[in-house]
Structure 1
């Protein structure tokens, strides 16, 4: 398993109240080299995440004590770089979108195979930030600066709070400013070259990125030049240059 983090096996936190599913996940993850903690309630999972933050969380939405979507939101706020994968028996698209919008990176609908779950985890973990920082010049787009070395986005010198995938999506568009970038390319570069998950993950992440940029723009005391993300129907997206002053 080539997914170790800083020379150690990745750590997993399973928050699942169903005994059969929980034991299956715990044994499957441990059998594949993941250090695993299993909690049966949302409150216990939240405490475990605060006490010893894991590399990723497998989160059941149907918990007995806390709403899974609310818990995903709290985990994202408290541990911003945490990889969150939702496990749900809900098949309605609105529930899936709500989970992704709350901060989850991905989801699987029950029942699912352990093989698919492990492949998804490998894909995500390969794309996590590396501990070493390369000497890369920041990309300046009007008043927006995308610093890939520091993994920061700044608007008029102020930090724009972005989640991991939001930043990587912005950085990929910024590297190709003014050029069309296909959905397939974005999924491969931001998620994984062998990605086979739902492309609505891209749409939700893009919508969240746009909201965060516009929120930062509204909070700036002076007019700023912000590049525009254009949707190219049937193809992908393009980051258009910031307007001239």
Structure 2
């Protein structure tokens, strides 16, 4: 499998390249954001690993640009920035996972394999639409509507809502959402879950009398017509 490394620290880039090669991956390296985007769009990679702080183009904007053309390629962000806000910004830009430096290579390999396994199960269903009440989601075009109102979601908000719509009227625990939406690498000790649920509520429920997203105290969250 071909993996693109976008990292301006020569020592870290070479460490990643050597470690991935030892695991039978085929790594390529870009040392700045512009070169990283160019390689990502010109070639076919199975996964991208990128730092956030990069010369010429930072990892957040890099991720957004890649997502415009290649929405399904798995992206792991590596960074020394580990606050909740930093992680949310990375996820909202389209990252699939987030690893804070310093990290163990074994953990990186586990995350890479989890993302590659998940991506291999993705089925392209043209025009596939799921609905709950007056909420509609097109999994192919990534468009979401409630009634006649178009709703703009970030990639992570979309994934969270998609999972809730595929499992309506069932309490979804924080652990289950972490495993299914964040591929088990989500730190459930942070307030991430509440942050994203609140984001969805503002976009899905605030303008409507009928609320769809509900919190079950001590249990989790539910999409329901209560």
**TM-score range normalised by the length of the shorter chain:** 0.7 to 0.9
Tell me whether 1:198 sits opposite 2:182 in the alignment: no
- How far has the Cα of 1:53 moved from its partner? 4.2
Pick aligned residue for 1:90 from 81, 84, 87 = 81
User: Which residue matches 1:240?
Assistant: 224
Gaps of 5+ in 1: 1-8, 219-223
> SS at 2:107's partner residue?
helix
Pick aligned residue for 1:109 from 100, 103, 115 = 100
Residues 41-99 of structure 1: per-residue CA shift (max 9 Å, x gap):
11100101111142322111121222222222222333222222111112333323322
Residues 79-124 of structure 1: per-residue CA shift (max 9 Å, x gap):
2222221111123333233222222222111110110011112222
Q: Is the 8 A contact 1:101 1:208 kept in 2?
A: no
With the length of structure 1 as denominator, give the TM-score of the two structures. Answer: 0.73
Tell me whether 1:81 sits opposite 2:65 in the alignment: no
Gaps of 5+ in 2: none
What is the RMSD computed on CA atoms of the aligned residues? 3.4
> SS at 1:230's partner residue?
strand
> SS at 1:180's partner residue?
coil
> SS at 1:177's partner residue?
coil
> SS at 1:107's partner residue?
strand
Q: Is the 8 A contact 1:101 1:204 kept in 2?
A: no
> SS at 1:128's partner residue?
helix
How many residue pairs end up in the alignment? 222
User: Which residue matches 1:6?
Assistant: none
User: Which residue matches 1:69?
Assistant: 60
| Alpha-carbon distance between aligned partners in 2 of 1:36 and 1:226, rounded to the nearest angstrom | 50
User: Which residue matches 1:56?
Assistant: 47
Q: Is the 8 A contact 2:3 2:47 kept in 1?
A: yes
